[in-house]
Amino acid sequence: MDFNPSSEGASVLKKVTEFIESKILPIEEGYFKELRALDNRWVVLPVIKELKKQAKELGLWNLFLPKSELGAGINNSDYALMAEQMGRSFIAPEIFNCNAPDTGNMEVLVHYGNEEQQQKWLKPLLAGDIRSAFCMTEPQVASSDATNIEASAIIDGQEVILNGTKWWSTGVGHPDCKVIIFMGLSDPGASKHAQHSMVLVPMDSIGVKVERMLSVFGEFDEPYGHGEVSFTNVRLPKSAIIAGVGRGFEIAQGRLGPGRVHHCMRAIGAAERALQLLIERGISRDAFGKPILNLGGNRDIVANGRIAIEQARLLTLKCAWLLDTKGIMGALSEVSQIKVVVPNILQTIVDQAIQIHGGAGVSEDVPLTALFTYARCLRLADGPDEVHRSMVARIELKKYYNLIKKNTK
């Protein structure tokens, strides 16, 4: 057994951590102040461009991509620890070109894109020149059940025609967002997992319209944002389809394994940040003659937080290691397990940090409400807790298949 990263991983991790601590964390508060003061917040501030340039020059770029010919060649378990560090800042993932949903989209293009698609979209994404969005969830149906998807991607001769409305399309508000990956129903008559296709849609296609940007707990998360996007008779050449008609589900499945590890490790970084804020506040303020942290059960909160984070991190690292060593099919349960655990512990710790802060905790003076919102949304994004619990149970019960069969005879 060995709980350490590889020596190469450790070396890159050190650089990433130092970059975040010396370059990103010190400017984050100022960045948001500057952004909030703008009338139009849907812009990329110079500080972001500058930091991206520096990170790229240092080779701290596309770290999430295990394939060395395109990315940094770092495996999932080593990268996981870097993602955790990035999760300590809201802007760090972008700086290292490791931001969702671009990471997942790039992975899709790496694994399923053809030469032309890679040239056109993957290359500028890897370079950090453009951004992308992913359109799957729909407002009119319970999208936790992916077979509910109603938007269509119908083949018409050499073209594919898209219709429908998507929402929670994260990143669609970004000024550099140039391409959408769209999931639509191609053939309702096909077998359950062969009905959908994924299509690459240029943002400026005729018929694509961002109907509105959605607020989350009152915030729009500029300059990325989350959009409601309508697709009205959007006509594209068939070559816009990724991997072939009817392979949407298969691609979605493969896309989600590493993506969930990334999400969860960033959430663990966020949880560490929340715990740190909780402790610093609890030490710095006195009530009833003692530091707040020494009152009642507050130290137990610290202990429980530490324990929860340690366990969640180990589970996520093991999941990443399984992805590295056994692939997605060897990590199906774990991928769902971390998706249940990590956002929930983050939400709990942030809630407790808010409580220790008193009124300040719900204000803009500390980043706790932003962390809370992040946690709360992560319990819905990429499948709600319930769907993942259900998946974990299903896999567990398969071990008892013979007993089940006997009982149901």
Alpha-carbon gap, residue 342 to 187, rounded angstroms: 36
Coil, strand or helix at 169: strand
Coil, strand or helix at 228: strand
Give the CA angle between residues 204, 207, 208 to the nearest 5°.
Answer: 55
Q: How many residues bind its own copies (CB under 8 A)?
A: 93
Q: In sequence order, what are the residues at sequence separation of 6 or more whose Cβ sits closer than 8 angstroms to the Cβ of residue 396?
A: 333
Looking at the Cβ atoms of 255 and 388, the one nearer to its own copies is 388
Is residue 65 within 8 A of residue 107, CB to CB? The reply is yes
Coil, strand or helix at 183: strand
Among 11, 54, 215, 232, binds its own copies (CB under 8 A): 215
Region from 15-23, 48-56, 109-117, 389-397 binding its own copies, contact rule CB under 8 A: 389-397
Coil, strand or helix at 44: coil
Among 39, 115, 156, 300, binds its own copies (CB under 8 A): 300
Binding to its own copies (CB under 8 A): which residues in 322-341?
333-334, 337, 340-341
Query: Is residue 307 exposed (0-12), middle (13-18) or buried (19+ Cβ within 10 Å)?
Result: exposed
Q: Is the peptide bond before 101 cis (omega within 30 degrees of 0)?
A: yes
Binding to its own copies (CB under 8 A): which residues in 304-323?
304, 306-307, 310-312, 314-315, 317-318, 321
Query: For strand 177-185 and strand 196-202, is the pairing parallel, antiparallel, or unpaired?
Result: antiparallel
Site string for its own copies, 48-87 (x = CB under 8 A): -----------------------------xx---------
202 touching its own copies, by CB under 8 A: no
Nearest distance from residue 29's CB to its own copies, in Å?
16
Among 54, 59, 219, 327, binds its own copies (CB under 8 A): 219
Nearest distance from residue 367's CB to its own copies, in Å?
12
Binding to its own copies (CB under 8 A): which residues in 116-175?
137, 139, 141-145, 148, 167-168
Looking at the Cβ atoms of 86 and 354, the one nearer to its own copies is 354
